[in-house]
Amino acid sequence: MARRSVRRVRRPVREEKVAAPRTWRGVIEEYRSYLPVTTATPVITLREGGTPLLESRLGERYGIRLLVKYEATNPTASFKDRGMTVAVSKAAEAGARGVICGSTGNTAASAAAYAARAGMTCVLLIPADGVALGKLVQAIACGATLIRVQATFDGALDLARAAAARFGLTLVNSTNPHRIAGQRTAAFEVCDALGRAPQALALPVGNAGNITAYWAGFSDYQKAGRIRSRPQMIGVQAEGASPLVQGHPIERPRTVASAIRIGRPASWDGAVAAVRDSGGQFISVSDDEILAAQDDLAREGLFVEPASAASVAGVLKLVRAGKAPHEVVCVLTGHGLKDPEVVQSRAKLPPPVPATLEAIQSRLAPRSP
Ligand code: F0G
């Protein structure tokens, strides 16, 4: 064993030099003064938020600065946890018996986890078909009551609203203002990381709660004097589920990106105001463009679900049209493991080989001379 030289310690070691980096406490404690909580609010948290803002290599390739807000590192692997910690904490404060929501899967998984954390019951109304299995597994594991409804997401949400009133449960869809309040923290984090607001922010839009929340977050940070300007908001929808692009509801929304298969966004007005007041735009992308962006991101280690890749697909479409901002943050809303079906259907598992170096070598690409 190599001997280490021992240096004489002249001064006591300063505490801050050896202390572990400060632990992230979850969005309520980190942004308490911006949230509708008091000392009487029980904090139901899984230490959500504090997600990385990363530079993407795609920016270099396309000649812009492209950053991604990687929301997959949240406790249930989607951005929904930011709003859910606030909504469930407020429900607990109000003495709620349980929570309910309609969902394409991620809200359901998040509600199930936070309700379990709070010791509440959780009822989930899910479209009978087309919801990614990984999300339902999360919800079932956390002990939620899962009800598959013969309806689209829009029908399930209508029913959830009515059921909340009938059965005395708290609705935790993004129509609950506490969800929006919590999701604003993502905008705060982007600004805190950059020291200012980005030129533009692109995100996938389904029920339109998140775009409403980001815009509220940037606006509140500006009012508080934390940033000077606000970004252009770019709302990206899948072509077959693009009511905000087309300007009218879609009866039968279709897209491979099941999380945003929504025809009648509940926060329609909030989304329209965000795009209008920021000088931004709504755009739609094809399923092929979404899956290509999903591949591109995975090739740099960012495995996201198809819906999440829509933000990047939208920006790349603007680049090709010569209309892209020079700096944009794309929100990557959820993890690829939640919805692996499409990738799985294209990837073939290779047959096994004997445990020898020769067998390994035969599988490696021949080296270039
Ligand atoms: N990305 C993912 C991964 C989502 O799950 C959702 C929405 C969105 C984007 C769009 O966000 O609805 O605020 O515009 N999922 C909801 C759910 C509808 O039930 O999980 P939005």
Contacts of 63 (CB under 8 A, 6+ apart): 319
The finding on whether 173 has its CB within 6 A of some atom of ligand 1 is no
Distance CA 186, CA 201 (A): 11
* CATH code, domain carrying 137: 3.40.50.1100
The residue type of 78 is S
Boundary residue ending a domain (137, 155, 176): 176
User: Are 332 and 215 members of one domain?
Assistant: yes
Q: To test ligand 1's pocket by mutation, which of 99, 114, 260, 275 has the most ligand atoms within 8 angstroms of CB?
A: 260
Percent residues over pLDDT 90 in the chain: 90
Distance CA 353, CA 64 (A): 44
The finding on whether 104 has its CB within 6 A of some atom of ligand 1 is yes
Is residue 8 a part of any domain in this protein? no
Distance CA 61, CA 138 (A): 36
pLDDT, position 45: 98
The CA 80 to ligand 1 mean position distance, Å, reads: 8
The finding on whether 270 has its CB within 6 A of some atom of ligand 1 is no
pLDDT digits (tens, 9 = 90+) for 236-266: 999 999 999 999 999 999 999 999 999 999 9
Q: For residue 203, is pLDDT > 80?
A: yes
Q: How far is CA 317 from CA 132, 201, 309, 312, in A?
A: 26, 15, 12, 9
Q: To test ligand 1's pocket by mutation, which of 215, 312, 333 has the most ligand atoms within 8 angstroms of CB?
A: 333
User: Are 59 and 100 members of one domain?
Assistant: no
Distance CA 80, CA 307 (A): 14
The finding on whether 206 has its CB within 6 A of some atom of ligand 1 is yes
The finding on whether 255 has its CB within 6 A of some atom of ligand 1 is no
User: Are 331 and 213 members of one domain?
Assistant: yes
Q: What are the beta bridge partners of residue 101?
A: 124
The finding on whether 205 has its CB within 6 A of some atom of ligand 1 is yes
Widest CA span in the chain: 76
User: Are 184 and 65 members of one domain?
Assistant: yes
Residue nearest to atom 6 of ligand 1 (CA): 259
Q: Which atom of ligand 1 is nearest to the CA of 208?
A: 14
User: Are 295 and 221 members of one domain?
Assistant: yes
Boundary residue ending a domain (113, 141, 176): 176
Q: For residue 8, is pLDDT > 50?
A: no
Distance CA 201, CA 191 (A): 11
User: Are 299 and 279 members of one domain?
Assistant: yes
User: Are 235 and 332 members of one domain?
Assistant: yes
Which parts of the chain are beta strand (E)? 53-55, 65-70, 98-102, 121-127, 145-149, 170-171, 200-204, 232-238, 281-285, 327-332
pLDDT digits (tens, 9 = 90+) for 268-302: 999 999 999 999 999 999 999 999 999 999 999 99
Is residue 5 a part of any domain in this protein? no
pLDDT, position 6: 44
Please tell me whether the overall predicted TM-score, pTM, comes out greater than 0.85 for this model. Answer: yes
Boundary residue ending a domain (136, 158, 176): 176
pLDDT digits (tens, 9 = 90+) for 325-351: 999 999 999 999 999 888 888 888 889
For the chain, the C-alpha Rg in angstroms (whole number) is: 22
Lowest mean pLDDT across 118-127, 192-201, 220-229, 335-344? 335-344
Is residue 229 a part of any domain in this protein? yes
Is residue 273 a part of any domain in this protein? yes
User: Are 118 and 208 members of one domain?
Assistant: no
The CA 360 to ligand 1 mean position distance, Å, reads: 42
Neighbour count for residue 130 (Cβ, 10 Å): 15
Q: Which atom of ligand 1 is nearest to the CA of 210?
A: 13
Is residue 196 a part of any domain in this protein? yes
Q: Which atom of ligand 1 is nearest to the CA of 207?
A: 12
Is residue 36 a part of any domain in this protein? no
Q: Which domain holds residue 86?
A: 80-176
Average pLDDT over residues 63-78: 98
The finding on whether 237 has its CB within 6 A of some atom of ligand 1 is no
Q: For residue 10, is pLDDT > 90?
A: no
The finding on whether 103 has its CB within 6 A of some atom of ligand 1 is yes
The CA 291 to ligand 1 mean position distance, Å, reads: 17
Percent residues over pLDDT 70 in the chain: 93
User: Are 303 and 155 members of one domain?
Assistant: no
